[in-house]
Amino acid sequence: MVGATGAVGTTILEVMRERAFAADEIVPFASERSAGRTLAHGDTELTVQVLSPDAIQGFDLALFSAGSATSEEWGPRFSEAGAVVVDNSSYWRTHDDVPLVVSEVNPEALDSHRGIVANPNCSTAQMVVALKPIQKAVGIERLVVSTYQSVSGTGQKAVEELRGQAQAVLAGTEVPGAAMYPHQIAFNVLPQVETFKEGDDYTTEERKMMRETRKILGAEDLPISATCARVPVYIGHSESVNVQTKSPLSADECRELLQGTPGLQVIDAPGEGLYPTAIDAAGQDDVLVGRIRQDPSHERCLNMWVVGDNLRKGAALNAVQVAELIVERGLLRSARV
């Protein structure tokens, strides 16, 4: 595991324990800052190591959550050393020869892997779990999505930034300046997730959502419009999704379709105050969907509210599920030889 001390890495360890992931040995890697630190894992303690050409030998699987630069450099090295890499960073996601996989949506894409498999960005992963059954049943013509993303999506330091600012606001003391975000995040909403590349008025997160959704759904021409906002929530991304279908689908039919889908829960009785919230999703494996309703402005459009734990289905859980599929399908390097 590379990035074992981070927000995603610690959740990967938790998910592996919960799912009793069968591994002879788990070795946690992180930066030099964490070398020698111990991480509790069930009854054992794992000692954090630093990446080096010698230390990366002999692994079947390498789960990465240490950022793009580390994945770019060390992903191919682990792969050359015989491991299959499951990468949470954005670096490999849009490479043509790297499958981008959500376990319930396109597991078949794993069959063509060449040593590196990518995990999508968190807001995309939860959304496609809800979209796939609709695409399969009636086709999707166009998507408009607005996200409300939690700070753990940026990592551990951003969680600390929100906590520190919120405590200061409530105590009436001077609010610590923004470091992880361009503005104060406590008691605020920022219409910017990640960065604006020169000449682009969409953020890199919005571009990722649009590109990755098309790749996972195998719909390269699908028109998608995304707006991503950061909200002062610790865990759980919420999304307003407007789906224009190819054939008609009523809200009731959609509810029924999604109810039977693995990895999804429909919570949809808004009159009784029942709809998914980020707090409900935090710590849960399932993606939660509610507020399914007809769009009054278009006869083949539905609106829905999709919420997921960004650290789980958005990252750690999907990475572990993909790793399980790689083993089950005989796709480890050692199994292929």
Ligand X SMILES: NC(=O)c1ccc[n+]([C@@H]2O[C@H](COP(=O)([O-])OP(=O)(O)OC[C@H]3O[C@@H](n4cnc5c(N)ncnc54)[C@H](OP(=O)(O)O)[C@@H]3O)[C@@H](O)[C@H]2O)c1
Indicate which residues carry an active-site annotation. Answer: 122, 237
The 10 Å Cβ neighbour count of residue 222 is 16
Name which of 147 and 310 has its Cβ closer to ligand X: 310
Which residue of 75, 99, 133, 153 would you call a contact of ligand X, by CB under 6 A?
A: 153
Q: In the chain, where does DSSP find H-type helix?
A: 7-18, 68-80, 122-138, 156-171, 204-217, 251-259, 278-281, 317-328, 333-336
The residue from 82, 155, 164, 232 that contacts ligand X (CB under 6 A) is 155
CB of 273 to ligand X, least distance (A): 28
Cα–Cα distance between 268 and 266 in angstroms, integer?
A: 6
Strand, coil or helix: 232: coil
Binding flag, residue 162, ligand X (CB under 6 A) = no
Shortest Cβ distance from residue 209 to ligand X (Å)?
12
Neighbouring C-beta atoms of residue 148, cutoff 10 Å: 20
Interaction pattern, residues 271-310, with ligand X; x per rule: CB under 6 A: ---------------------------------------x
Q: Whose Cβ is closer to ligand X: residue 65's or residue 245's?
A: 65
Q: How far apart are CA 271 and CA 245, in angstroms?
A: 26
State which of residues 88, 147, 165, 261 lies at the interface with ligand X (CB under 6 A).
Answer: 88
- Residues of this chain, 19-78, that bind ligand X according to CB under 6 A: 29-31, 33-34, 51, 65-68, 70
Q: Are strands 140-149 and 264-266 parallel, antiparallel or unpaired?
A: unpaired
- What CA–CA distance (Å, rounded) separates 312 from 56? 26
The Cα angle at residue 223 between residues 218 and 229, in degrees rounded to 5: 100
Q: Which stretch binds ligand X (CB under 6 A): 94-102, 187-195, 294-302, 311-319?
A: 311-319
Contact flag: residue 122 with ligand X (CB under 6 A): yes
Q: How many CB atoms lie within 10 A of CB 61?
A: 23
> Which is closer to ligand X, CB of 30 or CB of 105?
30
Query: Which residues lie near ligand X (CB under 6 A)?
Result: 2-9, 29-31, 33-34, 51, 65-68, 70, 88-90, 121-122, 152-153, 155-156, 310-311, 314-315
